[in-house]
Each structure stands twice: as structure tokens, then as C-alpha cells.
Amino acid sequence: MKARQETIERIANREFDVCVIGGGASGAGCALDAQLRGLKTVLVEAGDFASGSSTAATKLVHGGVRYLQEAVTDLDINQYELVEAALRERALMLRNAPHLTRTIEFLVPCFSNFEKFYYGLGMKMYDWISGKSSLLPSRLLTRDEALFRMPALQPANLIGAVAYADGQFDDARYAMALVETFVAAGGEALNYARATAFGKNESGKLVSATVADQSSPGTLQIRARAFVNATGPFSDVVRQLASTHAPLRMRPSKGSHILFPLDGFPDNGALLVPKTEDGRVIFAIPWNGRLLIGTTDTGYTPGEEMIVTREEIDYLLRQVNPYLNSPLTADQVVSGYAGVRPLVAAPGVTDTKKLIRDDEVEFDAATGLTSILGGKWTTHRLMGEETIDKVQEYLAGPRSPSRTHDHPLVGSEGYHWDYWEKLAHNFKIPKLTAQHLAHKYGTAAAEILELAAADASLANPLVEGEAPIRAQVVYAVRTEMALTIEDVLARRIGLQTYGWRLAIQAAPVVAAVLRQELGWSAEQEDTAVKQYVSKIEHMLASAGLEPESLPTFGKDLVLERS
Ligand SMILES: Cc1cc2nc3c(=O)[nH]c(=O)nc-3n(C[C@H](O)[C@H](O)[C@H](O)COP(=O)(O)OP(=O)(O)OC[C@H]3O[C@@H](n4cnc5c(N)ncnc54)[C@H](O)[C@@H]3O)c2cc1C
């Protein structure tokens, strides 16, 4: 907690060039871009970093084959340009954090020669637009090749498949890596810090923000020459803090995902369901030893709880099961998550499925607020660049180019795909733990293992037989600003996504470490565990599942490299 207090004091005692509000993909991308250009930057996040949409993604680093299809069928140049930009960014995202990303092949099952021709042509176009950024060329598979590649496919009437490559990533860790890289470059970052009001000078320009500490009573004033609103689906709220009458721009929609044991699916091959009952596509993707299925796209009511409902599970299963040899059932679900897409409203478009996932940098000349609206995880870097270009224009000082193109994120320098072997050898740890740590932290994993080397109790697993270890909790608090059990399990380590039952098992162990690190009382520790477990149980109830009914888990928590 001392470190947090020191950060608060440093922030309160300085004037910054840029204050970025919102610590998801967009905000972290803007903050890193600004700091690397030499602008003194502070990043504030109302909850935990990436606790909003940025950990609710399908975890694809992609141009979007559906958006390409729409670009072609609707002759929509904006969609086309978005796909093209995202494919360029895909390559940069993979290159700047190789430990958090990978290439994965998707299979589109075909049941007629027309489908094979149609999807095959579409994927060749996707390859062509990727150009030099192409990951692997697409290819046509025969029926036998498709079934060999993915034995879980339903074989009746299958004539083959089209295979194409896209990127996959660990969204929570990528966001942490952006924040840590920003801090390493000299930026200041504070989570649990909500911007609640702005101060203005006599000409109406924003000069300060009032920020309420969400973890303990208190507020601080942040002084800055420019403010960036990167609050995703909540952008309208902050736009209206600056200008009460700012018209609403956001049109959010809800998306849910569910996870299953990976049984029968290859670790390096995903399924694209090309047609859903509501005219979209759905993915079934191996992710950290689980099968991730998503997503839904439904209207969002302000204030709606972001948890998966039983209806959404039933919907997802209805779309995927016709393509599977052994249908999945709701009682096999191990976990799930839901989030809000930060879509920007477009004139005449009422259906959120039809809204383009493009971003817009909005500059309010009256107050000087720059808002980054909409966008995708894949394009966060470019969005940061465009936003900070605008901010520099407003600051009217010397312009400096964006430096994020080839700036490696924390953990990627010196990283190689077999880095885990070095960890296993140097620190004498099991293969699974070495792989888990290497893929979550890259070369920064060594710092975690140094903690465990200094205190052997920290080398113990969080849950017996599973890969994560207790030293990760200490690291999460000391280096990554975690303050709650959920910060640790949902975002720093990811155990909550691997399985709700695992998370319930790990909660008391995490709380015991947090008590030591954060100086909690026994009562605080007990309350934290109860609150966390009841939150997970609430998710289970919404999904129509009982805690006892959760299936047991495989031991494989790591992203095996293809
Ligand atoms: C279901 C779903 C699937 C998706 N799949 C993909 C995918 O596979 N690939 C891809 O590229 N993109 C995907 N996306 C899109 C991507 O996740 C989002 O575009 C991206 O995460 C948005 O990031 P953001 O930072 O703008 O918003 P957020 O992550 O929501 O961050 C905004 C932050 O602002 C904070 N905040 C709000 N108000 C304040 C305040 N007053 N003060 C301080 N902080 C505040 C919030 O707490 C929040 O953390 C998906 C989105 C969804 C919902």
C-alpha cells in the first residue's frame, strides 16, 4: 500500500502534459504512445486495469473475416480499410509481445463445393489484404484432412474445410504489459481512481481532473495540459463531465463467452462457425487448455450486470453443436465472461451487429477534451497513435512521431518460444509452471521465480496440481498494483477464466498472501474471500449451474505453441 500512496503523492504534486482517463486497451495504448513521445503522462482507471471490455474479448488479434465479408457484400470501403489496418496492426501486436500472442489456424467447415469455393476465395482475399503481414497462407482441406486436423468436427455431409490463420492473445496480460511498459518508460499509472469532475480555466479549457480513490476514502486533483477520454463504453459519461450537453455517441452491445474443457479439440486449431441464426459468425477456439466459445451480440441496457446468462449459453450451444461430433452441454461449462462492446452509433443503423468496429478520435474544441471512441483491441496501438497526434496538435508544441510500432512490451526482450526451458532448468521448476510463467510474463517471469527462491513457501502452487504459484500473487501486488482477489485471479493470473471451481479453490490462498502484502486484518481477509466466492456463485447461478456440477479440470493451463 505504501507504493500506492507514494504514487498518489507523486501524481498530486506534478503537472502532466497528458492525463489519460480509462485503463483498458485504448487508454493503455494512448498512455504508452504519449509517454514514449516524451510527454509527461498519467493514466487513471476507475476499477482495475482492463477490468472492462478489454478482458471480455474473443482474444483474437484479427482483421475480422466477417467484416471483410461485409465490406465485399455491402461494397463498404470503410469496412475494407478497417480490415486492412487491423491486419497491419495484427503483425505489430504479435511482434511486440511474442509471449502473449500466437498464430492459430481456423477451420471453416464446408458442406458443398460452393461453400468451399466461396470461403476459399474469401480467405485468399484475406491473405492478399494481409500482404507482408500475412501469418500463414490459407489452404483448402479435404474431408479427411479436416477430420484429421479437428476430430471433434461433425462428419456427416462434410466435404472439406478452408483453413486460414489469425492471431490470438492473452488480453488481460497484454493490457498489464502495456501498463507496465508505460510505467517503465516513466509514466504514472493508478488503478481504482475514478475521474468524477473536471476543472477549467477562464477560457473553458480543461486544466484538472478530480479523481476519487475507489480503494480508500479520498480524492486527488490531477493537473494536466491535455485530457484524453479512453473510457470505452462509458465514453459519453466522461464527455458529459466535460460538456454537460455533449450529444450521446456510444451504442454499446453485450457479448458473452463460455469455456469448456478442451477434450477432442486440437490445441492449435480453432473452428469458425460461418453462419449463426442472427447472421454472424461464432468461434470455438483453444485457449490456455480450454475451449473458448463466443460470442453473442445483444442490446445493452445501462447498468445491466455483465455476466453470462443461461439463455446466452443455450444460444451459443445451438450455433456450435451442429458442427460438432459430440454436442457440448451446458453442464460442461467451466467458466464464462461477458462484456460491453464500445460501439459508436451511426446514422440510420439500429442493429449493433451492423455497426462498424471502427474508431473515431473526437476533439472538443471548447474544452480541449480528446475522446477515443469505439475501435478494437487489435487496433489499440494505432488508435493511441491517432489520439496522441491530435493531442499534440492541441498542445501546439513540437510534434514527435509515435514510437510504439516497434517498442517491445515488458517481458518480450530476450524472449524466445523455448524460454520456459531456461526457467525450468535455472529454477528447477515443473514444466507446466515454467510454461505458464513464460507465457504470462515472458522474461519478467524470472523476477517471480526470484521471489520463490527467496521464500520457498511462495513456490507452492495456488491450487494443488495446477501451474500457477503463490509468488505470482506477491508479484501482482508489488509490481502490478493488484488490490483484490479478483484482480489477481481474473486478470494477473487468469485462473478465474480457466475455471470457476479453480478460482473458488484458490481464493483463500490468494487472500492469505494479500493479507500479508496489503496489511489486511483477519476479518478483512475473511470478508474478501466470502465476497469473491459469492460473486462467482452468483455467476454460476446466472448460468444455471451449481458449484458441485462444475466439471473437474485438466492440468494443462498453458498456451502450447503451434
Ligand atoms: C464480446 C467482445 C468480444 C471482443 N472480441 C474482440 C477480439 O477478439 N479482438 C479485438 O480486437 N477486439 C475485440 N473486442 C473489442 C475490444 O475488446 C474493445 O474494443 C476494447 O477492449 C475496448 O477497450 P477500451 O479501453 O476502449 O474499453 P474498456 O476496456 O472498457 O476500458 C475503459 C475503461 O475506462 C474505465 N473508466 C470508465 N469511466 C472512468 C472514469 N470516470 N475514470 C477512470 N476510468 C474510467 C473503465 O473502468 C474501463 O476499464 C471485443 C469486445 C467484446 C465486448
99-145 pLDDT per residue, tens? 999 999 999 999 999 999 999 999 999 999 999 889 999 999 999 99
> How remote is the CA of residue 360 from the centroid of ligand 1, in Å?
14
> Which amino acid, one-letter code, is at 184?
A
Other Cβ atoms less than 10 A from the Cβ of 13: the count is 9
**How confident is the model at residue 355, as a pLDDT?**
67
| pLDDT score of 284 more than 60 | yes
Question: Is the C-beta atom of 52 inside 6 A of ligand 1?
Answer: yes
Burial of 390 (0-12, 13-18, 19+ CB in 10 A): middle
Contact 330, 324 (CB under 8 A): no
> How remote is the CA of residue 48 from the centroid of ligand 1, in Å?
12
| pLDDT score of 436 more than 80 | yes
| Across 155-179, average pLDDT | 97
Other Cβ atoms less than 10 A from the Cβ of 44: the count is 24
Question: Is the C-beta atom of 182 inside 6 A of ligand 1?
Answer: no
Residue 232's φ and ψ, nearest 5 degrees, are: 55, -130
226-255 per-position pLDDT tens digit = 999 999 999 999 999 999 999 999 989 999
**CA diameter of the chain:** 73
Q: Whose CA is nearest to atom 2 of ligand 1?
A: 57
| Across 303-319, average pLDDT | 95
Mean pLDDT is lowest, of 208-222, 242-256, 352-366, 391-405, for: 352-366
> Which amino acid, one-letter code, is at 144?
D
| pLDDT score of 559 more than 60 | no
| Across 410-438, average pLDDT | 96
| Distance, CA of 96 to CA of 61 (rounded, Å) | 13
Instruction: Collect all residues with Cβ–Cβ distance below 8 Å to 256 and sequence separation of at least 6.
Output: 294, 295, 296, 308, 309, 312, 316, 336, 337, 338
Nearest to 182 by CA among 342, 380, 370: 380
Contact 20, 41 (CB under 8 A): yes
How would you classify the pairing of strands 41-44 and 188-190? parallel
Tell which atom from ligand 1 comes closest to the C-alpha of 211.
42
| Distance, CA of 17 to CA of 157 (rounded, Å) | 62
Tell which atom from ligand 1 comes closest to the C-alpha of 54.
21
> Which residue in the block uniquely carries the three cell numbers 505458464?
436
> How remote is the CA of residue 413 from the centroid of ligand 1, in Å?
27
Contact 489, 539 (CB under 8 A): no
76-104 per-position pLDDT tens digit = 788 888 899 999 999 999 999 999 999 99
Contact 491, 516 (CB under 8 A): no
| Distance, CA of 442 to CA of 109 (rounded, Å) | 35
Contact 330, 543 (CB under 8 A): yes
Q: Where are the beta strands (DSSP E) in 27-98?
A: 41-44, 60-61
Cell of 129: 489484404
| pLDDT score of 74 more than 80 | no
> How remote is the CA of residue 55 from the centroid of ligand 1, in Å?
7
| Distance, CA of 12 to CA of 7 (rounded, Å) | 9
Please report, rounded to a whole number, the percentage of residues in the chain having pLDDT higher than 70: 95
- Reduced to 3 states (helix: H, G, I; strand: E, B; else coil), residue 257 is strand
Q: Whose CA is nearest to atom 19 of ligand 1?
A: 376
Tell which atom from ligand 1 comes closest to the C-alpha of 60.
8
| Distance, CA of 289 to CA of 472 (rounded, Å) | 20
| Across 366-394, average pLDDT | 97
| Across 417-434, average pLDDT | 96
Mean pLDDT is lowest, of 188-192, 301-305, 335-339, for: 301-305
**How confident is the model at residue 348, as a pLDDT?**
66
| Distance, CA of 20 to CA of 34 (rounded, Å) | 9
Question: Is the C-beta atom of 195 inside 6 A of ligand 1?
Answer: yes
Angle, in degrees to the nearest 10, between helices 471-478 and 500-518:
60
Mean pLDDT is lowest, of 402-411, 535-544, 547-556, for: 547-556
Most confident region among 20-24, 264-268, 272-276, 555-559 by mean pLDDT: 20-24
Backbone dihedral region of 232: left (phi > 0), alpha (psi from -120 to 50 degrees) or beta? left
> How remote is the CA of residue 230 from the centroid of ligand 1, in Å?
9
If residue 484 lies in a helix (H) or strand (E), which one and from where to where?
Answer: none
Q: Whose CA is nearest to atom 1 of ligand 1?
A: 255
Tell which atom from ligand 1 comes closest to the C-alpha of 194.
42
Q: How confident is the model at residue 223 (pLDDT cuts 50, 70, 90)?
A: very high
> How remote is the CA of residue 60 from the centroid of ligand 1, in Å?
14
Tell which atom from ligand 1 comes closest to the C-alpha of 59.
8
Q: Where are the beta strands (DSSP E) in 53-205?
A: 60-61, 101-110, 139-142, 160-169, 188-190, 193-200
Tell which atom from ligand 1 comes closest to the C-alpha of 257.
1
| pLDDT score of 553 more than 60 | no
Mind giving me the DSSP string for 360-389?
EEEEETTTTEEEEEE--STTHHHHHHHHHH
Question: Is the C-beta atom of 374 inside 6 A of ligand 1?
Answer: no
Question: Is the C-beta atom of 432 inside 6 A of ligand 1?
Answer: no
Nearest to 78 by CA among 57, 94, 64: 64
> How remote is the CA of residue 26 from the centroid of ligand 1, in Å?
7
| Across 533-562, average pLDDT | 68
Burial of 520 (0-12, 13-18, 19+ CB in 10 A): middle
Q: How confident is the model at residue 555 (pLDDT cuts 50, 70, 90)?
A: very low
Q: How confident is the model at residue 556 (pLDDT cuts 50, 70, 90)?
A: very low
Q: Where are the beta strands (DSSP E) in 33-125?
A: 41-44, 60-61, 101-110
Q: Which of 19, 42, 54 to mutate to test the pocket of ligand 1 (most atoms within 8 A of CB)?
A: 54
Average per-residue pLDDT for the chain = 93
Nearest to 112 by CA among 66, 164, 150, 157: 157
| pLDDT score of 558 more than 50 | no
Tell which atom from ligand 1 comes closest to the C-alpha of 372.
26
Nearest to 26 by CA among 198, 299, 234, 241: 234
450-493 per-position pLDDT tens digit = 999 999 999 999 999 999 999 999 999 999 999 999 999 999 99
**How confident is the model at residue 189, as a pLDDT?**
98
| pLDDT score of 198 more than 60 | yes
- CA torsion, points 83, 89, 95, 96, in degrees to nearest 10? -150
Q: What is the DSSP letter of 487?
A: I
**How confident is the model at residue 546, as a pLDDT?**
76
**How confident is the model at residue 61, as a pLDDT?**
97
Question: Is the C-beta atom of 58 inside 6 A of ligand 1?
Answer: yes
| Distance, CA of 190 to CA of 281 (rounded, Å) | 37
**How confident is the model at residue 554, as a pLDDT?**
41
> How remote is the CA of residue 98 from the centroid of ligand 1, in Å?
22
Tell which atom from ligand 1 comes closest to the C-alpha of 338.
1
| pLDDT score of 562 more than 50 | no
| Distance, CA of 55 to CA of 53 (rounded, Å) | 6
| pLDDT score of 260 more than 50 | yes
Contact 452, 471 (CB under 8 A): yes
Instruction: Collect all residues with Cβ–Cβ distance below 8 Å to 239 and sequence separation of at least 6.
Output: 229, 246, 249, 362, 364, 369, 371
Question: Is the C-beta atom of 479 inside 6 A of ligand 1?
Answer: no
Question: Is the C-beta atom of 296 inside 6 A of ligand 1?
Answer: no
Tell which atom from ligand 1 comes closest to the C-alpha of 297.
1
Contact 281, 126 (CB under 8 A): no
Question: Is the C-beta atom of 47 inside 6 A of ligand 1?
Answer: yes
Contact 162, 281 (CB under 8 A): no
Question: Is the C-beta atom of 194 inside 6 A of ligand 1?
Answer: yes
Question: Is the C-beta atom of 468 inside 6 A of ligand 1?
Answer: no
> Which residue in the block uniquely carries the three cell numbers 512521431?
401
> How remote is the CA of residue 340 from the centroid of ligand 1, in Å?
7
